[in-house]
Amino acid sequence: MPEVLDTDEIVRQATEFYDSELRQTLEADHRDEFIAIEPISRTYYLGHTMVEAGRKARAMYPDRRSYLMRVGHKSAMQIGWYEP
């Protein structure tokens, strides 16, 4: 049976991996791209869209959930509009 993590643990492990091992390199070379992090294997997949990154992760690990984010941003998506 494949290892299954709950949502909080996926987020915790993926963000820890990103912060400790990926942030510096990816933000220099891949800012604004999307990343899907599969925390059990500690692998990641980049894409120009969230769907592209997610599909790459799903192709490699169809039974696992990945954490998706945008490189160099606090969140993958922004909802709403800000006008000063």
pLDDT tens track for 15-60: 999 999 999 999 999 999 999 999 999 999 999 999 999 999 999 9
- What pLDDT shows up at residue 3? 72
Listing DSSP states for 17-78 in one string gives HIIIIIHHHHHHHSTT-EEEEETTTTEEEEESSHHHHHHHHHHH-TTS--EEEETTSSSS--
Which of residues 27 and 83 earns the better pLDDT score? 27
- CA–CA dist 67, 61 (Å, integer): 12
pTM: 0.84
